[in-house]
A and B are shown apart, each in its own frame.
Chain A
């Protein structure tokens, strides 16, 4: 799961951030501050929304949405800005923190690292689609009981990774939970709580 996330993130960075594939992985390039691009390389014509928009159909939380997206728009951006599903957060926008984690075709993925145009026909589940009506998903219930959110900004992502793990493995060990959530940073350092919550949700679902 980890490898997959990282793989997709690199491919996104390589053409979204315009950093040049050959230089990826070197520290200087990753700053985004040390850009050596000369201003002349850009013009009002060569940059901007000249690429136009593509109509796509997105299936999110069981609903079908028709939206027009820029090729460079990520799933995270479209979810938040166009579908107003702002429960999915963007913490780094570069495939590192996991705040934007959603479940795509049953697997947890960084939605900041998926282009919206790739999502045609995929089944996308976000935090807003987890509860069944009034009834919360067991993972959500457990996050409340175990004080999963501190500031709460990573919480949607933690819950979605926890949910994706339980979809594949209904009886994970503590080590498996840690690994399953390891792509989701929590700067409040609430890792003990998040792991305990996923384990509790697993125990309850049995």
Chain B
């Protein structure tokens, strides 16, 4: 299904971002940078108990504080938050509260310090209810019930439970195996920890609501707000021009948007609601933790005959997302059974963080495969190559699949054949190790829309609903437009992220921007080119289909000397507008980007400190639309994986049920000092199903990173770490010099 990359004039180069200047000069206006006349500042008060009925909430003292303009809580602002929970009705303020951090009240005041002061004056009386923090405990029959139906998180559709998947005949597969292995791997709750704290600005003008949101999706945020406030879409505008990261926890509208909206309504003034960093760690969500129990059958040569996965995922107090584990996706498994129980506990909510169902489960499965390779006497690179996925669910072909090349090229680059050794055999106190794992992410098409206005001077104005969360999506869309139109990138102006101005976008999550909105930009460009050619054909006295457009000139393809400046063609019409709504779908094929990662480490057996001395990430993402930010994204995904592997975990104190490290320092996100040079290899093949041959880039790089590092540590130490994070104390205890 794949072809050699086509000749492109703009696509596939290393192009600096179209908004880089604004970002390096401080001129990029993020949501929190916006100041409106008469704007109030708001802060949120949160539950200090894990599970309790609110008996009373006294806000009278807070309301009397000079400067306080509005105080809202469950008693006076019972607003449903539909996308916040899919098992039981969730409100922006809930009674009972279900975790330490559940919002209790919000205050708007003339100054952020006054708002903070006012929080301290709110008096809440709780009637404590029994609580449960551990997912396995929560499933016991006598556990305190967090929802009326119990703690197995059963919602509708995508949120049903348990999550089950099966194909082939697992029992037969285990019978065919030469050996069957069983083991359990554990991962922890890790916060997205994007630099920009949550912030939302709401403003009402004569019944029209404008929300300046820090969102990954202006369209779905607008839909959510309209639904939950019972407003027509025409009365809601959501704007997000610059966005300081989210990695999955800023998609759709969130409770803080709603609080800002309500406070602005009550105070009849615009309101900016900002989270503190602590709020951000506890008040939204992180990656779901998991306990994964695998049973894997293999032949003597390591070939997998069957896999069974039984798992529990801790979703916290509310079910925002699936709780699935999909790390088995990159392997050819003839007989498969998956049974996952998403569970409610009285802890911080878990939901989407970059490739939501992957890095934690790739850690479990690829660690275990690496262990089985060791026990079967198979070199890991052969184990991974032999068992790599070839057909989706052993049945459906992929649009393109170069996972084998990722493995071959990546292992060549790092020097696997010379450097791999039996685990724990190289080095004394400083032990050398090398490891690898496979990853990727689904590439699927869907609904997209774009408008292109051709200006009478021959420049183009592209309008797309996408936000740019750091992926370079604005640049990607501009590049696709320039390529499709046949004009230089410098002639493109782009407006994004404003529901009153820009067309629908699915939201920048799930690596969907390029496959969803990219085809719409191409179609809009084709639409406006048709109009240009129809007008030019009359002037040049040829048929429209004989014309082409390049570098701002419309010319006859057979006789290029016959040409017209684009500007003149458009000027005659005043302005030309191309538009498209596209909704491609796959039939009898599946799409996926693939990756194979390789790491070399040095483990200090005395201190337990691990240094990554080399890291190679080989990716099959089809055509790379823009190499520069694509490489950056790969590097970034790996870096987030490094944090998850070595240090990050939101720790809940067992006595108080309180998160004890909701901040950067104590949650230990990686710094410059922990970050190795990450070498990126793109295995580039044109995928006929993607825009200009491109698949997806954003989510894949984090997926294999944790397992890659864990496997390298195994190769160095000969010890298997089955629980994240792999901290120095665990290493020292296991290795014992």
Tell me the A residues contacting B by CB distance below 8 Å. Answer: 27-28, 30-35, 37, 39, 42-44, 47-49, 70, 72-73, 77, 80-81, 84-94, 96-97, 99, 126-128, 130-131, 136, 140, 143-145, 147-156, 159, 178-179, 181-195
Residue of B with least CB distance to A88 = B26
Partner of B470, one of A35, A97, A181, A188: A188
Tell me the bound Cα distance from A154 to B28 in angstroms.
Answer: 12
Complex Cα gap A71–B148 (Å): 49
Give chain A's interface secondary structure class.
loop
Verify A93–B48 contact, CB threshold 8 A: no
A96 and B665 form a contact (CB under 8 A): yes
B245 touches A187 (CB 8 A): yes
Contact at A193–B635, with CB atoms within 8 Å?
yes
Chain B nearest Cβ from A194, distance in angstroms = 7
Q: Which of B307-327 contact A (CB under 8 A)?
A: none
Query: CA separation between A92 and B46, bound complex, in Å?
Result: 18
Q: Does B16 reach chain A (CB closer than 8 Å)?
A: yes
B17: chain A residues within 8 A (beta carbon): 144, 147, 149
Query: How many of B's residues come within 8 Å of A, CB to CB?
Result: 84
In the complex, are the beta carbons of A47 and B24 less than 8 A apart? no
**CB of B278 within 8 Å of the partner chain:** yes
Bound together, the chains give a CA A78 to CA B636 distance in angstroms of 32
> Can you spell out 6 A-B residue pairs with CB atoms less than 8 angstroms apart?
A28-B660, A30-B666, A47-B65, A150-B632, A189-B635, A192-B675
Residue B392 is within 8 A (CB to CB) of chain A in the complex: no
Q: Does B217 contact A (CB under 8 A)?
A: no
From residue B496, how far is it (CB to closest CB) to chain A in Å? 14
- Give per-residue flags for B5-19: 1 if the beta carbon is below 8 A from chain A beta carbons, else 0: 000000000001100
Kindly state whether residue B247 has any CB partner on chain A within 8 Å: yes
* Chain A: CB-nearest residue to B247: A187
CB contacts (< 8 Å) of B26 on chain A: these are: 85-88, 126-128, 156
Who on chain B is nearest to A193 by CB? B632
Q: Residues of B contacting A148 with CB < 8 Å? A: 24
Taking CB atoms, residues of chain B closer than 8 Å to A184 are: 672
The answer for the CA separation of A186 and B673 in the assembled complex, in Å, is 12
Q: Which of A49, A85, A153 is in CB contact (< 8 Å) with B196?
A: A153
Q: Mark B230-246, 1 if CB is under 8 A from A, else 0.
A: 00000000000011110
CB-defined contacts of B481 to chain A, threshold 8 Å = none
- The closest CB in chain A to the CB of B278 belongs to A32
Residues of chain A contacted by B277 (CB below 8 angstroms): 91-94, 96-97
- Contact among A143, A153, A187 with B669 in the assembled complex (CB-CB below 8 Å): A187
A80 to chain B, nearest CB (A): 7
The 4 A-B residue pairs with the shortest CB-CB distance, nearest first, are A87-B26, A189-B639, A151-B470, A153-B244
State the Cβ distance, A178 to closest chain B Cβ, in Å: 5
20 new A-B contacts at CB < 8 Å, known A44-B66, A150-B636, A153-B194: A28-B658, A33-B101, A34-B656, A43-B61, A43-B121, A48-B114, A49-B111, A86-B26, A86-B32, A91-B196, A96-B664, A143-B24, A147-B629, A148-B24, A149-B17, A150-B633, A182-B673, A185-B664, A189-B635, A192-B677
Cβ < 8 Å to A, chain B residues 477-521: none
Question: With A49-B67, A178-B672 as given contacts, are A153 and B666 in contact (CB-CB < 8 Å)?
Answer: no
A92 CA / B195 CA spacing, docked (Å): 8
Taking the complex as formed, is B117 at the interface, i.e. its CB lies under 8 A from any CB of chain A?
yes
Residue of B nearest to A139 (CB): B24
Q: Is the CB of B245 within 8 A of A151?
A: yes
- Name the residue of chain A whose CB is nearest to the CB of B660: A27
- Known A34-B656, A34-B658, A39-B123: A189·B24 in contact at CB below 8 Å: no
Check: B167 CB closer than 8 A to any chain A CB: no
Q: How far is the CB of A40 from chain B (nearest CB, A)?
A: 9
Query: Across the interface, which residues of B come within 8 angstroms of A73, CB to CB?
Result: 113
Asked if B25 CB lies within 8 Å of chain A CBs, one says yes
| B262 at the A interface (CB under 8 A) | no
CA distance A85 to B194 in the complex (A): 22
Contact B117 A144 (CB under 8 A): no
The residue on A at minimum CB distance from B41 is A81
Q: A144 with B20: in contact, given A47-B65, A47-B117, A81-B35 (CB under 8 Å)?
A: yes
Q: Does B64 sit at the interface, judged by CB under 8 A?
A: yes
Name the distance in Å between A170's Cβ and chain B's nearest Cβ. Answer: 20
B524 CB to closest chain A CB (Å) equals: 27
Question: How far is A39 from B637 in the complex, measured between Cα atoms in Å?
Answer: 44
Closest B residue by C-beta to A45: B65
Known contacts: A127-B25, A153-B30. The answer to whether A147 contacts B114 by CB under 8 A is: no
With both beta carbons as reference points, the residue of chain B lying nearest to A29 in the complex is identified as B660
- Given A39-B121, A49-B113, A136-B25, is A31 in contact with B658 using a C-beta cutoff of 8 Å? yes
Q: Are B664 and A152 in contact (CB under 8 A)?
A: no
| Interfacial chain A residues near B672, Cβ < 8 Å | 178-179, 181-182, 184, 186, 191, 194-195
What B residues does A32 contact at CB under 8 A?
276, 278, 662
Q: Is B120 a contact partner of A39 (Cβ separation < 8 A)?
A: yes
Are A159 and B663 in contact, CB atoms less than 8 angstroms apart?
Answer: no
| Chain B residues with CB below 8 A from A93, complex form | 197, 276-277
Contacts of B636 in A (CB 8 A): 150, 188-190
Residues of A close to B20: CB separation below 8 A: 143-144, 147, 149
The answer to the question of B640 belonging to the interface, with a C-beta cut-off of 8 Å to chain A, is yes
Whole-angstrom distance from the CB of B400 to the nearest CB of chain A? Answer: 26
B246 → A minimal CB distance (Å):
8
B25 x A128 contact (CB < 8 A): yes
* B229 interface residue per 8 A CB criterion: no
Check B422 for interface membership: any CB of A closer than 8 A. no
Inter-chain contacts of A136 with B (CB < 8 A): 21, 24-25
The yes or no answer to B27 lying at the interface (CB within 8 A) is yes
Chain B residues, CB < 8 A from A189: 635-640, 642, 670, 675
> Once bound together, how far apart are the Cα atoms of A42 and B659, in whole Å?
25
Q: How far is the CB of A90 from chain B (nearest CB, A)?
A: 7
Q: Are B635 and A192 in contact (CB under 8 A)?
A: yes
Chain B residues with Cβ below 8 Å from A96 are 277, 663-665
Chain A: CB-nearest residue to B469: A151
Q: B471, A185: Cβ atoms under 8 Å?
A: no
Most A CB contacts (10 A, CB to CB) among B26, B194, B469, B637 go to: B26
CB distance A30 to B663 under 8 Å?
Answer: yes
Is B671 interfacial (CB-CB < 8 Å)?
yes
Q: Hey, what's the 0/1 contact readout for B184-195 against A, CB within 8 Å counting as 1? A: 000000001111
CA distance A46 to B228 in the complex (A): 38
Q: Is the CB–CB distance between A153 and B195 below 8 Å?
A: yes
Beyond A86-B33, A96-B665, A189-B637, is A151–B196 a contact (Cβ under 8 Å)?
yes
Complex-state Cα separation, A189 to B675, whole angstroms: 8
* Nearest CB of A to B625, in Å: 14
Nearest to A34 among chain B residues (CB) is: B658
Contact B24 A33 (CB under 8 A): no
Report the separation of the CA atoms of residues A85 and B26 in the bound assembly, to the nearest whole angstrom.
8
Are A192 and B660 within 8 A (Cβ)?
Answer: no
Residues of chain B in range 635-686 having any CB-CB distance to chain A below 8 Å: 635-640, 642, 651, 653, 656, 658-666, 669-673, 675, 677-678
Give the one of B48, B640, B651, B675 with max A CB within 10 A: B675
